[in-house]
Structure 1
Amino acid sequence: MISVLVCDDQALIRTGFATIIDAQPDLQVVGECGDGRAAVDMARRLNPDIVVMDVRMPVLDGIEATRLLAGAGVADPVKVLVVTTFNLDKYVYEALRAGASGFLLKDAPPQQLLQGIRTVASGAALLAPEVTRQLVGRYAARIRPAAPATETPLTPRELEVLRLIAEGLSNSEIAAELVLSPETVKTYVSRILTKLDLRDRVQAVVYAYRHGLAPS
């Protein structure tokens, strides 16, 4: 059973999410709240498997709440799936930098929300290739450092895979591009995450651009 904490300042949306989630045999809502501060407090008390987090909320916004729950240096990070009505690049980028494992829009169909929760809870990341491409296209110039990284623990092939991840390609697309099997690509992705001490491919995208390892 995957335990879920739902945080949204709009009661109607919060109740709707909770109803959809609780109807699933493998998902259980353990709490609901309407602001980021309450989300942090409840998450630390209830220890859910995943927090479904809105962005714009009173008291403490979803980005800062995510940073407190899943950001760098957090001793026992909680997986966060950001779900918002705002498809603005700055929210996507800031949410991912804060430690979120995924990003969805509220107008996504219910099945996509449920699958997103399961995906993030399993330890995988949820960032659709089209979202990655939009993020990269708008933010590459800001994310890219003044000088590229001079040292990396990655092999040339792993660097190739990382660059394709940063372009927003899925494992199957990377496999087709490099003429590899999907299983081999999955192994490369796992090695990249381990070597760079990253949690998921979402962090890999941010890492690639912040360290000058992504395509120009």
Structure 2
Amino acid sequence: MKIIGLSIGEPKTIEYKGKPFTTGIQKRQVDKAFLSFNGFQKDGVANTDFHGGPDRAVCVYPYERYQYWKRIYGRTLPIPAFGENLTVEGLTEDKVAIGDTFYIGETIVQVTQGRIPCSTISKNNHETDLLKKVVETGFTGYFLKVIKEGWVTMNSSITLVNRLDEQWDILLCNDILFHNKGKKEDVEKLSKIKELAPQWNRALLKKYSL
């Protein structure tokens, strides 16, 4: 488990097909950044429906998925193509579960939900079907909440501190939310996990009419 990219950036207005829109997806890589309970300093979001807040303070995307997208599109997407703060190796969605707690540098962070992607990732990468493929594969990345603030650097180590329940890995949770692969009793059990972000939980209960 290691950091491949550490990225921050404030929202700005860009154009897509001649139409302006404001987004925080276009971040820049840095050597170090201070992580507070609300996210990295000098980092921001534009669309608060999908990003931001204490339960979504840090966006993570697995480096291994870049290799997958290279095979699909025949080109290497530039990090951080998905607007993530941390591009990490060794922590794909099938290896990370809700409630997992990690030391990253001086900080302690906890996995709260898979990312619910929006069309901005397609616009940012100029691939019209990227959003569709991200949802189909479940290769969404995920969000962290901050339990202990501190500095994170490109050389910071990543150490698993605690695992709540390995059953609820992000890839499985994405299948349940996006592809209706959950049984009612499983959905009810997942929805009761207090470490699950409220926004994601509401989307889950709405999807299954619970």
Q: Is this a same-fold pair by TM over 0.5?
A: no
Q: Which of these two proteins has the greater Rg computed from alpha carbons? A: 1
TM value normalised by structure 2: 0.31
More strand by share: 2
Larger proportion of helix: 1
